[in-house]
């Protein structure tokens, strides 16, 4: 099972996200659930890497493990803050949908911090 944790701030901004484990839906290389998790995370990372005022700490040490934290620089443009909220909404919606469609293969939870 793939376990996903999304950490968002009380203002809705994305703070961190981590995914670990293989879903077990199919064999490695043909697993649509793992591919979906990877696509959601990597797309979000690519967008945020090109967002002004952000520094990302990314850990992808092993296959089946991907985590990142968002660090804001001292000054962050309003548009970048909006992207953080949208990115968090995007991930939350995507992972909720995956968990609903594949409950035996994806576990998703959200943690809200101040």
Rounded average pLDDT over 29-38: 94
d(CA 98, CA 107): 9
For the whole model, what pTM was predicted?
A: 0.93
If pLDDT is split at 50, 70 and 90, which confidence band does 52 have? very high
Q: Which distant-in-sequence residues (6+ apart) come within 8 Å of 40 by Cβ? A: 90, 91, 94, 95, 98
| Residues 104 and 2 sit within 8 Å (Cβ to Cβ) | no
Q: What is the pLDDT of residues 61-102, one digit of tens each?
A: 778 899 999 998 888 999 999 999 999 999 999 999 999 999
Sign of CA dihedral 67, 38, 101, 82: positive
């Amino acid at each position: 099972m793939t376990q996903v944790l999304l950490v968002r701030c009380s203002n809705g901004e994305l703070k961190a996200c981590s995914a670990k484990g293989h879903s077990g839906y199919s064999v490695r290389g043909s697993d649509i659930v793992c591919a979906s998790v990877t696509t959601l995370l990597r797309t979000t990372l690519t967008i945020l890497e090109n967002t002004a005022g952000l520094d990302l700490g990314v850990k992808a040490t092993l296959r089946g493990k991907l985590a990142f934290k968002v660090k804001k620089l001292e000054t962050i443009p309003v548009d970048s803050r909006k992207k953080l909220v949208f990115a968090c909404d995007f991930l939350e919606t995507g992972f909720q949908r995956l968990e609903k469609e594949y409950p035996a293969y994806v576990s998703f939870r959200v943690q809200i911090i101040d």
